[in-house]
């Protein structure tokens, strides 16, 4: 068993069959690569994305993960757009488990949520979240028992609008 080091570069990243689309970004947003994003709920801005809450649910507003970084002003322009790795039924991502938790062979095929690691500004698989789920674990990348280990997870989603 090892402890896997994580940092700002340990963001959720595509693994297999991940589609990318460009979305306009809502006002006053600072998005890092790998940031979980949802559709904006601002009036008449449903075609824009914004940062997801720190403990998201699997509702139709969840879009995916930012594939580029951006900071927008109070009045975003048409050029305030970034590619997003779409969270659809075919997408698989590499993700670290939540801080100080060890991955387990029993994680395979289990549904888990995601949670924001504000220390490293990354999103992680939340093994304690089994009701507001986002991912189904497909395989372990690191060894059974590794703390902060990496897993391959398939997105589980309701039907999307895009």
The pLDDT tens digits of the residues spanning 41-51 come to: 765 666 789 99
Residue 44 confidence (pLDDT): 64
Nearest to 12 by CA among 122, 86, 109: 122
Q: Which of 29-33, 46-50, 88-92 has the lowest mean pLDDT?
A: 46-50
The average confidence (pLDDT) of the chain is: 88
Please state which of the four CATH numbers 2.40.300.10, 2.130.10.10, 2.60.40.1120, 3.40.50.1100 is assigned to the domain occupying 17-86.
Answer: 2.40.300.10
Where exactly does CATH 2.40.300.10 map onto the chain? 17-86
d(CA 66, CA 43): 22
E strands, the chain, in order = 13-16, 20-25, 30-31, 36-39, 48-51, 62-66, 70-71, 81-86, 92-96, 111-117, 122-126, 135-140, 150-155
Mean pLDDT score, 64-87: 90
Question: What's the chain's Rg over C-alpha atoms?
Answer: 15
pLDDT confidence band for 162 (50 / 70 / 90): very low
pLDDT confidence band for 161 (50 / 70 / 90): very low
Element spanning 67, H or E? none
First vs last C-alpha separation in the chain: 42
Backbone angles phi, psi at 70, to 5 degrees: -160, 150
d(CA 95, CA 149): 8
Q: Provide the whole-model pTM.
A: 0.89
The pLDDT tens digits of the residues spanning 118-143 come to: 899 999 999 988 888 889 999 999 99
Q: Is the pLDDT of residue 1 over 60?
A: yes
């Amino acid at each position: 068993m090892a402890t896997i080091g994580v940092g700002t570069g340990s963001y959720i990243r595509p693994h297999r069959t991940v589609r990318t689309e460009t979305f306009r970004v809502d006002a006053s947003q600072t998005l890092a690569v790998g940031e979980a994003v949802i559709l904006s709920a601002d009036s008449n801005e449903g075609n824009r994305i914004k940062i997801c809450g720190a403990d998201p649910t699997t509702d139709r507003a969840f879009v995916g993960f930012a594939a580029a970084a951006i900071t927008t002003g109070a009045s975003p322009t048409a050029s305030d757009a970034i590619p997003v790795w779409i969270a659809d039924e075919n997408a698989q991502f590499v993700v670290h488990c939540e801080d100080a938790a060890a991955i387990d062979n029993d994680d395979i095929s289990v549904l888990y949520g995601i949670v924001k690691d504000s220390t490293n500004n990354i999103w992680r698989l939340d093994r304690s979240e089994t009701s507001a789920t986002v991912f189904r674990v497909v395989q372990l990348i690191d060894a059974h028992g590794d703390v902060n280990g990496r897993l391959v997870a398939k997105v589980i989603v309701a039907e999307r609008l895009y």
